[in-house]
Structure 1
Amino acid sequence: MAGQEYYFSRGDQHIGSIWGHGSCLARDWSADYLHRLGLFSAARYYGLEINLASSFTQDDFEHLPPGKQEELQAPTSASIKTNRFGLSSQTLIFTPHQTEAYQQLTEYYTDLFRNGNEDMG
């Protein structure tokens, strides 16, 4: 219920059109998290420290030489796509970079949801 209450508090259910697709136009927070996780992981594989990796952007990535981009994409993609859920233990295991990203992104989303962001509306 808390998630639903938050969803309604942001007003995403009111975004829509006469065709009735409503909140389909709202931000996809899962995709946002995965994108930010990928950027953070790529930055860490690139050798950036945690504080710099947390502010590494898509623009930063695109300004890397193409060969370096490809070099970083392989381990980043593999780390995200690999299933690390232990069925017998019912435990999800994060990589070290995923653990760091989780901590950084928890701070990011806590600040965003508490204080808002003028650019996001």
Structure 2
Amino acid sequence: MGNTRKLWLGLLVLLIASFSVLLWAGGEIFRAAPPMPEKVLAEDGRVVYTRADIETGRQVWQSIGGMQLGSIWGHGGYVAPDWSADWLHREATGVLDIWARRDGGTASYAQLPAEEQGALRSRLQEMMRANTYDPATRTITLTQDRVAALSNVAAHYESLFGNDPATLELREAYAMKQDTVDTVEHRRALTAFFWWTAWAATTERAVEGETLAPDKAGVVAKKVTYTNNWPSEPLIGNTPPPALWVWSAFSVLFLIAGIAILGWHHAVSHGHGEEPHK
């Protein structure tokens, strides 16, 4: 078999392997994609957001430049924050502060003793990572405390994307113009979209067959969220899953091995092609 034919055969094998991996990964992404709810409800039945709110918010986000202004799930510009991560952190700290005031007798979570902080973090993780999406009704149900925290975060974003003097310094830091979103209705819809992206980042996937077996100590590891535990957020237990480290290491080693094989092939081919010196 000639060298040219071997190269074409190698290219064919590489293409088949590459597209097989892409098709498999695409299927996994589709299978584990975060659901789009018809309604987001508080425990008392009050409607917090609707699907129309979330989809309108996505359109508003795209109309103001989309990923040129901040990022979603890590994709986009980095002058403004990642809105998914920012919302998630603000909502988590908001819930912790509510509990600290009501149950701990302090003004904020930060003022609690370390032991009480740890107890509240465990409680927070259990609440925020729980998947309350009901496929039958296509609704997500949130606790009253979470709705209260969500409302405060939404008010912050409505202020930030408007022209409120209270958030002027943040707008300047994020390179945002006054009235980035110029209507109250669109600002509220934008908060619905940001909330949904944060919900997907903190909620464990409800995919059949993903329950993890307990380790030797009998502890069942947490399942990953719809975004594979991204962004990192210790408050709610978002840390990189073991599979991420495995695939990252494999990718680097595969790249190095590929470069080494190319170098070896180049050296061998040129070595055989050289004429002996007379």
Q: TM-score, normalised by structure 2?
A: 0.33
In 1, Cα distance between equivalents of 2:68 and 2:136: 40
**How many correspondences in the alignment?**
104
Runs of 4+ in structure 1 off by over 3 angstroms are none
The secondary structure found in structure 2 opposite 1:3 is helix
Gaps of 5+ in 1: 14-21
Partner of 1:16: none
1:111 maps to 2:159: yes
1:64 maps to 2:112: yes
Report the residue type matching 1:12 in the other structure. Answer: L
The secondary structure found in structure 1 opposite 2:156 is helix
Moved more, 89-98 or 38-47: 38-47
- Higher percent of residues as helix: 1
Deviation of 1:23 (Å): 2.9
Partner of 1:18: none
Partner of 1:12: 69
Gaps of 5+ in 2: 1-58, 175-278
The 8 Å contact of residues 38 and 77 in structure 1, kept in 2 or not, is answered as: no
Report the residue type matching 2:90 in the other structure. Answer: R
Partner of 1:83: 131
Q: TM-score, normalised by structure 1?
A: 0.70
Deviation of 1:10 (Å): 9.0
Q: For each residue in 1:76-119, what CA deviation from the matched residue of structure 2 results, as whole angstroms up to 9, or x when unmatched? A: 11111000111111001011111111221111100011125324
Identity %: 23
> Highest Rg: 1 or 2?
2
Report the residue type matching 1:97 in the other structure. Answer: D
In 1, Cα distance between equivalents of 2:68 and 2:134: 37
